[in-house]
Structure 1
Amino acid sequence: MSTAEHKHGAVRETPDRYGAFPRLTPEQIEDLSAHGERRRTTRGEVLYREGEPFREFLAILSGTAEILQDHGGPEERTVAVLGPGRFLGELGLLEDEAAFDTAVVREAGEILAVPVERQRALVGRDPVLGDLILRAYLGRRYLLIGLGAGFRILGSCYSPDTVRLREFAARNRLPHRWVDLEKDKEAEALLRRFSIRPEETPVVIWKGERVLRNPSNAELARFIGLPAPSPEAGRCDVMVVGAGPAGLAAAVYGASDGLTTVTVDAVATGGQAATSSRIENYLGFPSGISGGELIERAVLQAHKFGARLMVPAEVCGLTPQDDEYVVTFTDGSRTRAGAVVLASGVRYRRLEVPGIHRLEGISVYYAATVHEASLCQADPVAVVGGGNSAGQAALFLAHHAPRVHLLVRGGDLTADMSRYLVDQVERHPNIEVLLHTEVRGVFGEVKLESLIVEDNASSERRELRAAALFVFIGARPRTEWLRSVLALDEKGFVLTGADAQAAADATRWDSLGRGPLLLETTLPGVFAAGDVRSGSVKRVASAAGEGAMAIRLVHEHREKTGNLVRTAGPEESRPVAGQSVSRRSTTP
């Protein structure tokens, strides 16, 4: 569907209904002119092309440009037509990714071209211009996702690799479309066109010509032009494992403090926060902010200060060596780090119901983003969980589905959900809250059709119609690889501070004359922040705060002072009058 209107051969400029295509003010264009050059354009000229990196930020001074999806292909369609004062580009321009659309001159005129690197610097320095461009690019990204633009994933709904690729694309907020090998009419034509055997699927197809057969996540990332990670980078001051709010905060503060900072994540930037449709209690955003927008802002901020972000790059080993650490990746590469911040977060727990695993990724989901919501617009859906994540998902889905059943195991919605969310959930006409309710069975061959739910107070069971199930029932830490490396609690969360002190090997700390710092683990110089840390508050704001604090503690470790948590030295005994006491404390 085109957002532009064709009439007698003319194309009307696209109205900016969603904030994706704002106009620059004359003053902003004048400021940009000092950093770029003016160029004449000709009709039909390609200004940038899908699948290729952006080289310039382009503002239209006169004439028009048409934004096209699948340019030159059988499914070419117009996304927008932009005139004077509008600017071109997409989120990839700011994050060093390839373009997901093509811009073609519709009516000859003049453009202002600013080199990408200069534009990124300007966005960081000018908050008004930066906010305008970032919001527009985020709006365009979600518009492309909604249109099903970008690459296609062709595979069976029963294939674990298909589910993996779809999750990777969705978590990285990449425009794409899934073609179901089992029931999509387009699938057979694509198999014939590209000479693909069914057993070779899933495949990724882009630009109508490039095919990748059952790629790994890293291969897909390289295929579509994401910046290639290079863990084999010698040494860094700080290695941050995990790119959720805690990891990104550590990246921002580490890099801004002048430390060479590398942040890696096995799947995507953002962690669980990026899957939240709306965060309304984050300081400084009174009207709320989507998890995706908050994370994109954090990523740009980290880039601004020079932090390196590598996705996907999965860590599998951590080995002490000469007062530093060797970090090993699953591809066999290694990096040395002076300090390590563990911010790998948690993953949602799976719902253990007979037959549910075959529906995961098809109509059973563990996140509620634009991608999942677009598949649930005509039928009722169910959300399982009683915490904030479940409440946010229910509210978001209520804007897309005609009915949302919120299934809560306990008898009180306020037990685990913030009051502001409870009020909104209870007031929303499209949400039905079912307390004392648990899922006992699922029905549906190809996709979910209904649930068997049980009232755990009366043991009464009934069938509930639902075309999709969203599960938010708690989480478990991503710490399997750390079990033999440092101390964890009984649930697998990382022990820090005073808790780590009790579990630490005293001989390891003798040369430092101190015990673990506030967020330090049983390994000196290895810190934990955010949801992965034992005893942490599972909130976005607290995770970001811990990420920032971890960098302050990295400095203390590097200076070998460690004044937040001390171990009494042999020369220290009972204090005398007027003498301060050095003691174990978790309070700075």
Structure 2
Amino acid sequence: MEKPFILAAHGDRLVLASLRTELERLYSNVFKVVGATDVHGVLDLLDHLRSPVAMIIGDATTIGEVRSHIGLEASKVVIVAPYSDVATVHQRLTELDAHEVVVSPWSGDSLHDGVDDLLNDWLALHTAGESLVMIGHRWARDAHELRDFLGRNHVPFRWVDLDHGDEGVRLLDGAGLSDAKLPVVLRAEGDALVAPNIDDLADALSMHHHPTRQYYDLVIVGGGPAGLAAAVYGASEGLSTLLVERDAVGGQAGTSSKIENYLGFPNGVSGAELAERALAQATRFGAEVLAPQEVTKLSLDGRYKVLDLADGRSVSGAALVVATGVTYREMHAESLRALTGAGVFYGAATTEALDAAGEDVIVVGSANSAGQGALYFAKFARSVTMIVKAADLRETMSAYLADQIEASPSISVRVQSRVVEAHGEDSLEAISIETKSKVVRLETRFLFVFIGAEPRNEWLGGLVAADDRGYLYTGRDAKNEGWPLSRDPMHLECSVPGVFAAGDVRHGSIRRVAGGVGEGSTAVQLVHRYLASVH
């Protein structure tokens, strides 16, 4: 395979020459660098390049003109701007759908720092080639579950739909699996997995890791922002730290297409990117991460917290941080449950989202996650309709998101509405919504649900006090729930000494990514206090 390209585009020939020289110095061993001074030159290059374009980097004017002609969803986009224009360019990043701004002229490693992580992210997603190919039917629920699992765990794969074209049939025939139960996963090693479940697939990909020891200073359950923050701070401060996540690191936030109000990312950051960087930090400091792995039971052995794992093993911790977050609640209508994974999806379902190109998409919910999803789908769907129970988006959504939704020509909002029924045999064909006492039918093949939140703490077995919805009491709230010590529970400490809660699973939490990160890092400081008190 030929090298992928970095395309430099700048209207100033001197800046372009300097940019190409620096990019070739830094990246010519992996990428081929090409350049153009205007939009026509860029479009001509894109028409003739045989390898993919990993990044397009240039001035805002040229990038904006290119954007008006073609989409650049598969490429990373970086704007080069003089210092005097940086503030203005930052305000246009969402419009340009760019990932980063680099100040010109650059010095030292400033260009490298601005693009290195982006290129590494691109390589991680695009260099796997044909290492994993999944073949199945588009609307099969079991295929959706596997695709969602791989997508959320950032495992590159190629999906081949048997309902479109004959490639899937040819691949199955070539593997001698023409009559096999679907889905089928073909691996570069030459073997195949026939109708695997998630555990089978994780085992085949060597994703199931086992703890290296029986005892840890700190065990964290849940790999969302709160859990990842606790892992970073716990490991960096010398605690033997284990994080256990049952699905995919990043949690609910990891499926967000763009988080624009997180401190330090003026052009926004995807939940997946934030989670990947946090995971890299945690493991660099020595934290162990088990994902996917499920905790099935908590028991207490004196001061130690014993966790039973789904694979039959158990681990013990001197302190425990519960950061299991919440999950979207399934809608009650039986017709909706029957079509889950076949047009009805919970959360962003990013592996399915690109299939919605040119389609009419419906998003249910009015929280930030729903707004982020709607804006993401609007990039390639024909239309996006939001179904909102409230009378106004701003009742539950950040103003910046509501403003962007109202400004989008392809997004419409139906307030004071709810979904009452789904229609379709093998896959979703339409939904019925009740809006202001009238029932209206909307044709759609894609319904993405972002409503309701249920804490994920059934494995605690009632040992830790929670409110009537399952959110864990901490601090003052935990004191009256069977607290056994003469001292008061610390701010994030639960009704069991040495057990702490952080993030969305905690009663009274803020429900924001930054809030989860703050609680996760604060919990580690309290863990230190607890460990000092019992040793």
TM range, smaller chain = 0.7 to 0.9
Question: Would you say 1:496 and 2:483 are equivalent positions?
Answer: no
Aligned partner of 2:438 among 456, 460, 465: 460
* 1:484-543 Cα distance to aligned partner (Å, 9 max, x none): 32111101111111111111243xx2xxx4132111111111111001111111100000
Decide whether the 8 Å contact of 1:230 with 1:310 is kept in 2: yes
Q: Give the partner amino acid of 1:525.
A: G
Query: Residue 7 of structure 2 aligns to which amino acid in structure 1?
Result: D
* 1:548 partner amino acid: S
Match of 2:205 in 1: 224
Counterpart pick for 1:553 among 523, 526, 529: 526
In structure 2, the residue matched to 1:135 is 118
- Alignment-mate amino acid for residue 484 of structure 1: G
String of CA shifts for 1:412-450, please: whole Å, max 9, x gaps: 211111111111111111100111121122223333222
Tell me the distance in 2 between the aligned counterparts of 1:240 and 1:79: 43
Deviation at 1:254, TM superposition (A): 0.3
User: Rg bigger for which structure?
Assistant: 1
Q: What letter matches 1:16 in structure 2?
A: L
For residue 148 of structure 2, what is the aligned residue in structure 1? 167
The residue type paired with residue 273 of structure 2 is E
Asked whether 1:385 is paired with 2:376, we answer: no
Whole-angstrom CA distance in 2 between matches of 1:138 and 1:63: 14
1:310 counterpart residue number: 290
Give the one of 464, 467, 471 matched to 1:486: 464
Q: CA deviation at 1:200?
A: 3.8
The one-character-per-residue Cα deviations of 1:543-582 (angstroms, maximum 9, x if unpaired) are 00000011000001011189xxxxxxxxxxxxxxxxxxxx
- CA distance in structure 1 between the aligned counterparts of 2:53 and 2:431, rounded to whole angstroms: 45
Task: Go from structure 1 to structure 2 and tell me whether the alpha carbon gap of 1:13 and 1:420 turns closer, same or farther (over 3 Å shift).
Answer: closer
Change (3 A) 1:138 1:12: closer
Percent of residue pairs bearing the same amino acid type: 39
Residues matched between the structures, number:
457
- 1:14 corresponds in structure 2 to 5
Instruction: Provide the secondary structure at the position in 2 that maps to 1:355.
Output: helix
**Aligned 8 A contact 2:169 2:178 in 1:** no
Q: Does residue 194 of structure 2 align to residue 213 of structure 1? A: yes
Q: Is the 8 A contact 1:349 1:476 kept in 2?
A: yes
Q: Structure 2: how far apart are the matches of 1:205 and 1:237?
A: 41
Quickly say closer, same or farther: Cα 1:256–1:367, change in 2 above 3 A.
same
Write the letter of the residue equivalent to 2:412.
E
The superposition leaves residues 223-263 of structure 1 with CA deviations (integer Å, 9 ceiling, x where unpaired) of: 2354x411362211111111110000000000110111111
Instruction: Measure, in 1, the Cα distance between the counterparts of 2:357 and 2:488.
Output: 55
Q: Distance in 2 between matches of 1:298 and 1:341?
A: 17
Report the alpha carbon displacement of residue 23 of structure 1 after superposing the two structures with TM. Answer: 7.6
Measure the CA separation in 1 of the matches of 2:124 and 2:323: 27
Whether contact under 8 Å (2:5, 2:31) holds in the other structure is: no
Deviation at 1:194, TM superposition (A): 2.7
Matched, 1:202 2:183: yes
CA distance change for structure 1 residues 15 and 27 in 2, over 3 Å: closer, same or farther?
closer
- Measured in 2, the distance between the counterparts of 1:275 and 1:296 equals 12
Instruction: Check conservation: 2:148, 2:351, Cα contact below 8 A.
Output: no
**Larger fraction in helix:** 2
Is the counterpart of residue 323 in structure 1 residue 303 in structure 2? yes
Please give the secondary structure, in 2, of the residue aligned with 1:432.
strand
Q: Is the 8 A contact 2:148 2:349 kept in 1?
A: no
- SS of 1:371's partner is helix
Q: 1:130 to 1:358 in 2, by over 3 A?
A: farther
Cα–Cα, structure 1 residues 209 and 289, in superposed 2: closer, same or farther, change >3 Å? same
Which residue in 2 is equivalent to 1:345?
Answer: 325
**Mapped partners of 2:384, 2:448: distance in 1:** 10
Give the aligned CA root-mean-square deviation in angstroms: 3.1
CA contact (8 A) 1:165 1:217 kept: yes
After the TM superposition, which of the residue ranges 183-192 and 419-428 deviates more from structure 2? Answer: 183-192
C-alpha distance in 2 between matches for 1:526 and 1:470: 35
> 1:388-433 deviations in whole A, cap 9, x for unaligned?
1111111111111121001111212111111111111111111001
Alignment of 1:100-499 (within 5 A): 129=112, 132-143=115-126, 150-156=131-137, 160-180=141-161, 185-196=166-177, 200-207=181-188, 209-226=190-207, 228-231=208-211, 233-368=213-348, 370-455=350-435, 457=436, 459-499=437-477
What code does the residue aligned with 1:528 have? Answer: A
Contact 2:297 2:461 survives alignment (8 Å)? no
Note the C-alpha offset of 1:376: 0.6
- 1:47 counterpart residue number: none
> For residues 130 and 210 of structure 1, what CA distance do their matches in structure 2 show?
40
Q: Deviations over 1:68-90 (max 9, x none)?
A: xxxxxxxxx975499xxxxxxxx
Verify the 8 A CA contact 2:228 2:278 in the aligned structure 1.
yes
Task: In structure 1, give the amino acid aligned to 2:525.
Answer: R
Q: In structure 2, how many angstroms separate the alpha carbons of the residues matched to 1:473 and 1:536?
A: 17
1:303 alignment partner, SS class = helix
How far residue 142 of structure 1 moved from its aligned partner, in angstroms, is 4.7
- Is the contact between residue 364 and residue 469 of structure 1 (CA under 8 Å) also seen in structure 2? yes
> Matches of 1:561 and 1:235 in 2, distance apart?
16
> What's the offset of the Cα at 1:287?
1.8
Quote the Cα distance in structure 2 between the aligned partners of 1:264 and 1:128.
Answer: 36
SS of the aligned residue for 1:299 comes to helix
1-side partners of 2:126 and 2:477: how far apart?
47
Per the TM alignment, residue 15 of structure 1 is displaced from its structure 2 partner at its CA by 3.7
State whether residues 368 and 397 of structure 1, in contact with CA within 8 Å, keep that contact through their aligned partners in structure 2: no
State the partner residue of 2:500.
Answer: 527
* Cα separation, partners in 2 of 1:186 and 1:26, compared to 1, 3 Å: closer
Deviation at 1:353, TM superposition (A): 2.6
- Is the Cα–Cα contact under 8 Å of residues 298 and 461 in structure 2 kept in the other structure? no
Alpha-carbon separation, structure 1, partners of 2:505 and 2:349: 23
Q: Which residue of 1 aligns with 2:515?
A: 542
For the residue of structure 2 that corresponds to 1:423, the secondary structure is helix
Q: Following the alignment from structure 2 to structure 1, what is the Cα–Cα distance between the partners of residues 526 and 418? A: 44
Select between 209-218 and 390-399 the one with higher mean Cα deviation: 209-218
Structure 1 unaligned residues grouped into runs of 5+:
5-10, 30-58, 66-76, 83-125, 563-588
Change (3 A) 1:157 1:63: closer
Equivalent residue number for residue 109 of structure 1: none
Which deviates further from its counterpart, 171-180 or 286-295? 171-180
CA distance in 2, matches of 1:308, 1:348: 27
Structure 1 window deviating more from structure 2 (269-278 vs 405-414): it is 405-414
1:279-312 residue CA offsets vs partner (Å, 9 max, x unmatched): 1111111221111111111111112211111111
Retained in 1: the 8 A contact 2:430–2:443? yes
